[in-house]
Amino acid sequence: MSKRDCTYRCALITGASSGLGLEFARQLAPSVETLVLVSRREEVLEKVARDLVARFPHLTVKVFASDLSEVTDRGRLIGSLATEGLRPDLLVNNAGLGDYGELLTADWLKTSEMIRLNIEALTHLTHVFLPGLITQKGSILNVSSLASILPIPDFSVYAATKAYVTSFSEGLRLEVRDLGVKVLAVCPGPIKTGFGDRACRASTSKLPVQDAFYIPVEQVVQESLIALVQGRARIYPGLKVALAAGVIGLLPVVVLRFVMSFRPRKS
């Protein structure tokens, strides 16, 4: 593949060391000139970069270790990208954090970190790179969740942060649609990545999710990238999840409250 065949010149992916972020990097690698991978774990990112370049010799991979929940780290990342002349025409806001358990017993430091990462960092990076994305007629892909359309006990703060991501994406899409920028909210159901392990507290072993609803990470990313090219506003990857989202959207709020009151509270 030659560089002139690339769909994007520069794709920036947050949370790129594992899970969805890593899979986005793998599936985008054949069709971009430069991948900018951001995560806390620099050594892991370096290995990902070596593996991708070995498979795709045309590819340039830049890695940046950054804790995006910290505004100072975000400032250093933004400055480093500017210094190196890296101007993304695709922004994949994937980095996120969950916390499964009652708010009453939550660790506030983790809760605060989740809000800063899921909401503040995503909005900050979008704001910073939006002028360049407009100039280049680029795209923004925000990873939200099926949880964004549900009031979920024991996941109330996480679900609320994802409700912000979905609403923000929809509103921003209307702002920039006539400027040539595509904005997609990806709302997956449960995925077998490390997210669930990190979201669980010491008192729980796993999230109370039926195995039948799990979607392969490869399918989530593939459907998301297709939806982005198609200019769609929102996607629920996987037939079962999409059907569930459709049913949820038809239910009155009072019915949703009643149904969610019977959700399993312990794994």
Answer for the pair 142, 164: CB distance below 8 angstroms, yes or no.
no
| Dist. CA 146–CA 245, nearest whole Å | 7
Calculate what percentage of the chain has a pLDDT beyond 90: 75
Q: What is the DSSP letter of 67?
A: -
What is the token pair recorded at 235? 């996607």
DSSP per-residue string spanning 165-229: HHHHHHHHHHHHGGGT-EEEEE----BSSSHHHHH--TT-SS----GGG-B-HHHHHHHHHHHHH
Q: What is the DSSP letter of 68?
A: T
Q: What is the pLDDT of residue 2?
A: 40
- For residue range 159-200, list pLDDT tens digits in order: 999 999 999 999 999 999 999 999 999 999 988 766 655 655
CATH architecture of residue range(s) 3-260: 3-Layer(aba) Sandwich (3.40)
- Is pTM, for the whole model, over 0.75? yes
pLDDT in tens, the chain (267 residues): 344 345 899 999 999 999 999 999 999 999 999 999 999 999 999 999 999 999 999 999 999 999 999 999 999 999 999 999 999 999 999 999 988 889 999 999 999 999 999 999 999 999 999 999 999 999 999 999 999 998 888 889 999 999 999 999 999 999 999 999 999 999 999 887 666 556 555 666 555 555 667 889 999 999 999 999 999 999 999 999 999 899 988 888 888 888 877 776 554
- Is 158 part of the annotated catalytic residue set? yes
Catalytic site residue from 8, 100, 158, 236: 158
Q: What residues have CB less than 8 Å from 22, skipping those under 6 apart? A: 16, 48
| Dist. CA 103–CA 126, nearest whole Å | 29
| Dist. CA 187–CA 170, nearest whole Å | 12
Q: Which residue type, as a one-letter code, is found at position 263?
A: R
Q: What is the pLDDT of residue 1?
A: 36
CA separation, residue 155 to residues 6, 8, 112, 123, 260 (Å): 40, 36, 14, 21, 11
Domain assignments of the chain as residue spans, ordered by start = 3-260
